[in-house]
Structure 1
Amino acid sequence: MSSFWTGERVRLRGIEPEDWQWFMEFDAHTHHQRSLDVLHPPRSAERHHAWAAEQSVAAPAGDTFRLAIEALDTGELVGSLSVNEADPRTGRFRYGIGIGADHQRRGYATDAVVLLLRFMFGERRYHKCEAAIHAFNDASLALHRGLGFVEEGRLRDHEFFAGRHHDLVIMGMTAPEFTERHPFEKL
């Protein structure tokens, strides 16, 4: 028996208290913080530990949640993803993903996103996924284009960091567009 949450390269799982050190190391890289969000002040090891412990017991808020991405070949934590906004009435959700620098360009993000979209489209009945990506993040833009996302718009000078404003690219994919590339399993 295989798990729905296991792909070809990764397994999506809940965050465990012992994952705190990985998140602390991830947050230590300015590039990682900025590619996902904005630069935050440093947090103590104890604060990272408390955060991971909180995440490990937190119940999803509706269809918003955060998962760890674990490499199948090593069992190592390589990233995380989260559904940030989910609106069942409109059938739209937004998500974010981060892969550690040592684990990028190995197909982990692609595999993790396909698992997430299969769940949100095929099990939760959402119709559309949106991703907001900084315009300078060429790797993320290429990832999303490769998955079949379409650029839907650009919010000019939308985010401020590193001393200037940056554009935010909005990309989207519908459930039919996803299933055309990744058909659901026949039961």
Structure 2
Amino acid sequence: MTSFWTGKRVRLRGIEPEDWQTFRRFDEHSGHQRSVDAIHPPRSAEGYRAWTAERAVATPLDNRFQLAIEELRSGELVGALSTDATDLRAGRFHYGIGIVADHHRRGYAADAVVLLLRFMFGERRFHKCEAGVYAFNDASLALHRRLGFTEEGRLRDHEYFAGRHHDLVVLGMTAQEFAQRHPFEEL
């Protein structure tokens, strides 16, 4: 029997203190750092150690958590994902994902997102997942469309970086839409 958290290419796991070097390497690539969130001031090695140590012992709060994405065959950390903006009344949550630059286009993000959605829809009873993607991030938009997300709108000039404002594309998927593409396992 395999773990619920194991897909075809990746395994989702908690963040470990020794993951600090990969997160530091991730942040060294400004373009990828910006596509996931924003460019932040440089952090010391000790700052990364403290950040991962804090996450390693963090207790998920209101279905908000961060997980490491590990390549299944090698065990190498290739990215991370998180949930936030959880709304239990409406049954809605938001998520974000980042894959280390030299691991792009290997199916890791798609596999990780399916695992996350299977958990949030099938185990936590959420009804809808939302994601925000910068309009210039064609790869992420294509990934979300392949997974079955629907473009629900565009927030014009919503985020500011690199000296100008950028649009944010809002995508969504319901539990029913997910189950049609990725059926839940039989017990």
Range of TM-score over shorter length: over 0.9
Match of 1:65 in 2: 65
Counting only pairs closer than 5 Å after superposition, residues 127-146 of structure 1 correspond to structure 2 as: 127-146=127-146
CA deviations 1:128-176 (Å, max 9, x no partner) are 0000000000000000000000000000000000000000000000000
Task: Tell me the SS of whatever aligns to 2:12.
Answer: strand
Cα distance in structure 1, aligned partners of 2:45 and 2:31? 20
Distance 1:133 1:37 in 2: 10
CA–CA distance in 2 between the matches of 1:103 and 1:36?
A: 15
Distance 1:64 1:157 in 2: 27
Partners in 1 of 2:25 and 2:54 — Cα distance?
18
Q: How far does the alpha carbon of each residue in 1:15-48 deviate from its partner, in whole angstroms, 9 at most, with x for none?
A: 0000000001101110121101111110011000
Q: Which residue of 2 aligns with 1:171?
A: 171
Residues in 1 aligned to 2:136 and 2:112: alpha-carbon distance in whole angstroms: 22
The code of the aligned residue for 1:143 comes to L
Match of 1:56 in 2: 56
Name the counterpart of 1:103.
Answer: 103
- CA distance in 2 between counterparts of 1:55 and 1:119 reads 20
Report the secondary structure of 1:52's partner residue.
Answer: helix
Q: Structure 2: which 5+ residue stretches go unaligned? A: none
> Which residue in the other structure is 2:112 paired with?
112
Task: Provide the C-alpha distance between the structure 2 equivalents of 1:171 and 1:114, rounded to a whole number of angstroms.
Answer: 15
CA distance in 1, matches of 2:12, 2:154: 30
> How far has the Cα of 1:62 moved from its partner?
1.3
Note the 1:11-160 alignment, pairs <5 A.
Answer: 11-160=11-160
**Aligned partners of 2:24 and 2:159: how far apart in 1?**
24
- Structure 1 residue runs of 4+, over 4 Å off? none
SS of 1:145's equivalent in the other structure is: helix
CA RMSD of aligned residues (A): 0.5
Instruction: Work out the CA distance in 1 between the residues paired with 2:73 and 2:84.
Output: 28
Equivalent residues, number = 187
Secondary structure of 1:141's aligned partner: helix
